[in-house]
Structure 1
Amino acid sequence: MTSQLRINGIDVSFPFEPYPCQVEYMRKVLQALQTGQNALLESPTGTGKSLSLLCAALAWQAAMKARQQAFNAQASSAGGEKNSAAVELIAELERGFAESGGAWDPVRGAPRIIYASRTHSQLSQAMHELKRTVYTNHKVAIIGSRDQLCINEDVQQLESNAAKMVNCKVRVETRSCQYYLQYDLLRPKNDKDSAPAPLLSNKIMDIEDLVDYGKRTKCCPYFMSRDQKESADIIFMPYNYLLDPKVRYRNKVDLEGNVVILDEAHNIEQVCEDGASVELSSVDLAQCIFEIDAAVSGLMKKITADQQASSLSLEDLSGAEAQESLDFTVSDLFALKGQLLALEKAIDSIPLGSGDSAGPGFTKPGAYVLELLAQADITAPRVAHMLDRLDKILAFMSSTQGRLFRGTGLSRLSEFIAGVFPQSSYCDPAVSSASGSSSSSSGSSTQRRRGLPSSSSGLAQCYKLHIREVSGGHYGRSGATSAPAATVGFDTDASAAASSGPAGSGKPYRLLSYWCFSPAKAMLNLAAHGVRSIILTSGTLYPMEALRQDLQLPFPIELSNPHVIDRDQIITAVVPRGPNSVRLSSGYENRDSLDYQRALGECVASLCGCVPHGLLVFFPSYSLMSRCLDAWRSSRLFDRISSRKPVFVEPRRKAEFATAFADYYKRVCDPQYAGAIFLAVCRGKVSEGLDFADHFGRAVVVTGLPYPMWTDPRVRLKQAWLDEQRLATGRGLTGKQWYKQQAYRAVNQAIGRVLRHRNDYGAVLLCDERFATEESRRQLPAWLQHSVTVAKTFESVPDRLREFFASNSVKYPTRMGRKCACRPSNSRCSSTASRRPRLSSAPPQLTS
């Protein structure tokens, strides 16, 4: 039953009777929105965070709409009899703002809400939460790339999103895409900004819904989503659409006066740094030169064909008359090729030597990249023209060669140059302000009001240029924007996956990395566009003070919520020793020990016998998980484990993950088995945002501390940069503190899989002796710290677990069934407090 609440003078409808922590969370959200201030809000997974966030934000937006309507009604009756109802409503809203310390502008309309999360899967979960509320009448849009939304098979076969973008534009301009033509046909002819009629309803559609609808109607989902955005009250989008200025400008995301919500923001610093970092390899340059040669050949063929078609001579076609019909000439292509050959020579001539603190390679301050590019005559005054030329070449080759032209080299070169010279790649008032020109008055006033720096001159120091030699076969898509957030420096899918294409030949090549080490660059750029409020929220934002310093934004509103569960619903044990008192530590000096690896396997085998249903085991890295599996198989430990529970291993490849995930869910629900076990890695897909409610995740085992890879030069440079900043300013984390923080944040994310709603229960086993210290306990989630005990021997653990699960299975029974009140795809269900959840074998729908 819907509950009606009055919070900060705003009427909020909630799907059920909220818990005190949910009311307090909504109060903080409303305070931020009403006062136009930023907020850091931490609420444990399973406390209904996303639902509370959406209800509070949309209730406030509804109040702003009512205010606007009342003001308009009052204004329309000026000079005549006053509208008493309108006057009363305005007065009431004014009182609500005054109670929370805010003020309101009677002229501005209701601000739009921009809701961003890391993946489309997380966005789909949030949109499902929205469907449970009374606010489904608000207009909703979701933004995705052509990777997710394009249904043209020829375009989908192209490798990079940049190539898909160019090919799509060509097809739209030449009206050669049947899906765009159908979209254009369905648009009302008297209003080119309206969406196709079926989408004018208030039905909430996520990426999958849009694609399904597009396939059924042969109508382009990509352009439908763009049309929805124009009139939406709330827009859902992945992080990079918001935090990358180039992507934001390209998608026309309006920030002025609007509210920005960053959900699942525990890795926001890395996301910001990744979005501002770019890479270019010698393989990319070689591919560029190859593609320019192909463009020369294609252009010559076009000239010859035009000559034959028009019966003109080649001499005539090379004159001014022929050039008017071309976006570039053969001479332009040869000039560009000369620039790339010069850049290739400049990079190859740099002596890498034995390296420095970052390891083998060549490291310079970020400004050195300008000197390097200048050797190829790539300078700021010329960049805008060069980027335009690259786009036109890509468009020409895409139109003449279609799917045969991949365009990966030119696309990566364009992305790299745009990353180094962002002010030349798009029109950004914030960047212009930093460059010395005047920015919009509204943006400047917003900065002054919040105490933001008036320019980003200091941010020029946040880059490092690093050039190193890399062995072939480990180079994927160039640039940080092509890899998921928080993978740099960690042994995860994105950083370990082998590539296809030219780099897969096995020959070494040079990789030029232009890395940003300050997340403040992206966040200050965001704030400078006149955003009303920025709300960062997650299950884990600890430590908030370090986060605030990293982002260099004021966050006057903070909240760290307790959990909604009772103390007897969680058991947490540090296990420093395995069977036979073998030391458990994934530290560098011990991880390769066969005794350690087998002791870990003995622990898992024993836990399979006392943990019912689903068991999640997290390793610090893929490499350690692989070595342990080899050790277990060689000693038949793996057979013992799999005889008790079917074993599923998190695959590196994205395409294989959905199958493994679905099979795991089926086995947990299958009464023929005693559940299942999923072996996974910290920072992998299993640990980030996926739902393992109830029987799907009765226990989480963390086998070690997932520190970043020390051999990664980006990790070393990040630590060195932090130490430099600490020495210069006396503020912020040291490199060592950051290094440790990264490990515990990943651990806390894995722990978050175990409790997903009010009636859930589970165990956390920390199987590494380093968790036994008081300092380590303080790094764990606050709601968990009270339950942490250190087991004197491993043999005492199984009996405690059996007793714990026997007791809670009676207190919080879970039924197996086809329908589910807490389905993995939509739970976070604090709403199930008064009923027993039922399980469905249907796994969450995975969307990248």
Structure 2
Amino acid sequence: MTEDDANNEQPLPTPQTAADFGFPISTPYAIQVEFMQRLFETLERGDFGIFESPTGTGKSLSIICGALTWLTRHLNRPSKTTQQKSDCDNKPDWVLSYENKLRESENPEKAAAERYKAWEQRVRRNEAAIQREKRQIARQIGAVNRKPAGQKRNVDAAESNGSDDDLIVGAYGSDGEHADGDEHVKRLLAAYGSDSDEEEDEGKVPEEPSITKIIYASRTHSQLQQFVSEIKRTQFGKNIQCVVLGSRAQLCTNATVRKACGSVQALNEKCTEMQQQKGTRCPQLPVQHTPMLDFKQAMQRVADIEDTVTEAQQRGVCAYYGARSCVRQAHVVALPYNMLLTQGARDALGVQLDGNVVIVDEAHNLVDTILATHSVTLSQHTIALLLDLLQRYFKRYWQRLRGSNV
């Protein structure tokens, strides 16, 4: 949050009771209410905070209710400009219209949201039209195949004056290598199977606007699962979007690839390889945008790893990349330590720390995790083994090696 933004916003008062925080337990401990209040005030000031709560005092619920109460009120925070709008009632309509347009031009987030929405509507409309054309072509192919061989020439002549000329690819039929009937079928097949990038190209995809969010990190996925389950218990579970980020081993929905890859590293390499080779593109990453857009729309809720995988399987898309596509509009992003603490991982996942709330659970493990993430242990035994292997290799193949190999 910039200083200008802060100056244009009304401060949020601290809630006083557990009910104000949406706490699901009617008789909370006094330490829970105090925890939520101090957390709320820390987030409102944009400060750093270190919080400790005794075992058995419902720490997770306190974090959820305190942080999400602040977030929901922050996202709906009235600005001073909004409150001063009532003072403009006496101005002429043309002045009010000009001021409204000026305010919209000064709101880049709103403009970005409108651009993305317009792009999404255009993509859905165009891809739906393409699918209708393909179904029509499929029916034509079936009709041609059912015609006797002697009638195929007449079918070509009749359809050449019809309304489907734009479906016929001109490049086919210029070589004269096939009979007229076979050529007609080939032209229809070419149009039916044209899933090229050029046909599906909708221009550069505009950047989806990002909202202020809570980034919650914990040590294990079981702890993340418990955290998401606690959110579902509260009133916030019906009104926010929460996404859990994980590895390909947890989120890959391509059963064939999962079965063929015996390790996490092999799965990662195969996934990357299938994206680079056009002919072997993973079917869970369709060229069309609509399936992933439908997945994102269905994921506008609180979802854990299992929910994400199930939803992706039902819609035939990749849960790994689908979860990443939900990050910008999610209110809560839950992820393990290693994804938060590595710059490359954050960049790949689209997780931005600036302007967002970062909550690290069990932070006493943080230093050890940072050291482990950015350190490599190489034992003397491993070095000795590597040296022995290199010497054996050189001894066996030295006559075949050139100077550049050595």
- 1:169 and 2:272 correspond: yes
Cα distance in 1, alignment partners of residues 313 and 72 from structure 2 = 34
Of 50-59 and 239-248, the range deviating more from structure 2: 239-248
Candidates 229, 234, 241, aligned match of 1:139: 241
Match of 1:269 in 2: 367
CA-based RMSD: 3.6
Measured against aligned partners, the alpha-carbon deviations of 1:34-57 in whole angstroms (never above 9, x if no partner) come to 222222211123211001101110
- 1:56 and 2:66 correspond: yes
Match of 2:44 in 1: 34
Could you say which structure has the higher strand fraction? Answer: 1
SS in structure 1 of the partner of residue 253 of structure 2: coil
Report if aligned partners of 2:15, 2:37 keep a CA contact under 8 Å in 1.
no
Measured against aligned partners, the alpha-carbon deviations of 1:526-568 in whole angstroms (never above 9, x if no partner) come to xxxxxxxxxxxxxxxxxxxxxxxxxxxxxxxxxxxxxxxxxxx
Report if aligned partners of 1:61, 1:110 keep a CA contact under 8 Å in 2.
no
Measured against aligned partners, the alpha-carbon deviations of 1:324-366 in whole angstroms (never above 9, x if no partner) come to xxxxxxxxxx99x95xx7xxxxxxxxxxxxxxxxxxxxxxxxx
Match of 1:622 in 2: none
Normalised by the length of structure 2, the TM-score is 0.55
- 1:45 and 2:148 correspond: no
Cα distance in 2, alignment partners of residues 7 and 72 from structure 1 = 27
Cα distance in 2, alignment partners of residues 196 and 277 from structure 1 = 41
Cα distance in 2, alignment partners of residues 110 and 77 from structure 1 = 27
Label 1:284 to 1:125 Cα distance change in 2 as closer, same or farther (>3 A).
farther
Match of 1:25 in 2: 35
Matches within 5 A, 1:457-476: none
Matches within 5 A, 1:538-617: none
Deviation at 1:263, TM superposition (A): 0.9
Matches within 5 A, 1:376-395: none
Report if aligned partners of 1:119, 1:238 keep a CA contact under 8 Å in 2.
yes
Cα distance in 2, alignment partners of residues 116 and 185 from structure 1 = 31
Match of 1:204 in 2: 302
Cα distance in 2, alignment partners of residues 160 and 113 from structure 1 = 32
Label 1:63 to 1:245 Cα distance change in 2 as closer, same or farther (>3 A).
same
Matches within 5 A, 1:680-829: none
Cα distance in 1, alignment partners of residues 219 and 323 from structure 2 = 19
Candidates 349, 352, 359, aligned match of 1:251: 349
Candidates 128, 152, 156, aligned match of 2:254: 152
List gaps (5 residues or longer) in structure 1.
83-105, 188-194, 290-333, 342-848
Cα distance in 1, alignment partners of residues 355 and 296 from structure 2 = 30
Candidates 1, 4, 16, aligned match of 2:25: 16
Report if aligned partners of 1:183, 1:224 keep a CA contact under 8 Å in 2.
no
Deviation at 1:72, TM superposition (A): 6.2
Cα distance in 2, alignment partners of residues 278 and 225 from structure 1 = 30
Cα distance in 1, alignment partners of residues 345 and 211 from structure 2 = 25
User: Letter of the aligned partner of 1:179 in structure 2?
Assistant: Q
Label 1:150 to 1:257 Cα distance change in 2 as closer, same or farther (>3 A).
same
Cα distance in 2, alignment partners of residues 54 and 182 from structure 1 = 38
- 1:120 and 2:221 correspond: yes
Deviation at 1:182, TM superposition (A): 8.2
Cα distance in 1, alignment partners of residues 53 and 385 from structure 2 = 44
Report if aligned partners of 1:116, 1:239 keep a CA contact under 8 Å in 2.
yes
Cα distance in 1, alignment partners of residues 319 and 372 from structure 2 = 28
SS in structure 1 of the partner of residue 15 of structure 2: strand
Deviation at 1:183, TM superposition (A): 8.0
Label 1:259 to 1:38 Cα distance change in 2 as closer, same or farther (>3 A).
same
Label 1:185 to 1:165 Cα distance change in 2 as closer, same or farther (>3 A).
farther
List gaps (5 residues or longer) in structure 2.
1-13, 92-106, 110-209, 391-401
Measured against aligned partners, the alpha-carbon deviations of 1:701-736 in whole angstroms (never above 9, x if no partner) come to xxxxxxxxxxxxxxxxxxxxxxxxxxxxxxxxxxxx
Deviation at 1:241, TM superposition (A): 0.7
Report if aligned partners of 2:291, 2:315 keep a CA contact under 8 Å in 1.
no
Normalised by the length of structure 1, the TM-score is 0.28
Deviation at 1:25, TM superposition (A): 1.0
Cα distance in 2, alignment partners of residues 197 and 271 from structure 1 = 33
Cα distance in 1, alignment partners of residues 349 and 296 from structure 2 = 23
Report if aligned partners of 1:183, 1:196 keep a CA contact under 8 Å in 2.
no
User: Letter of the aligned partner of 1:26 in structure 2?
Assistant: M
Report if aligned partners of 1:139, 1:234 keep a CA contact under 8 Å in 2.
yes
Matches within 5 A, 1:424-463: none
Report if aligned partners of 1:140, 1:232 keep a CA contact under 8 Å in 2.
yes
Measured against aligned partners, the alpha-carbon deviations of 1:711-764 in whole angstroms (never above 9, x if no partner) come to xxxxxxxxxxxxxxxxxxxxxxxxxxxxxxxxxxxxxxxxxxxxxxxxxxxxxx
- 1:178 and 2:283 correspond: yes
User: Quick one: percent identity of the two aligned structures?
Assistant: 35
SS in structure 2 of the partner of residue 127 of structure 1: helix
User: Letter of the aligned partner of 1:168 in structure 2?
Assistant: C
Matches within 5 A, 1:650-665: none
User: Letter of the aligned partner of 1:127 in structure 2?
Assistant: V
Match of 2:205 in 1: none
Candidates 320, 326, 341, aligned match of 1:228: 326
Label 1:36 to 1:284 Cα distance change in 2 as closer, same or farther (>3 A).
farther
SS in structure 1 of the partner of residue 22 of structure 2: strand
SS in structure 2 of the partner of residue 114 of structure 1: strand
SS in structure 1 of the partner of residue 51 of structure 2: strand
Cα distance in 1, alignment partners of residues 81 and 228 from structure 2 = 31
Could you say which structure has the higher helix fraction? Answer: 2
Cα distance in 2, alignment partners of residues 165 and 76 from structure 1 = 54
Cα distance in 2, alignment partners of residues 182 and 219 from structure 1 = 11
Deviation at 1:22, TM superposition (A): 0.5
Matches within 5 A, 1:350-499: none
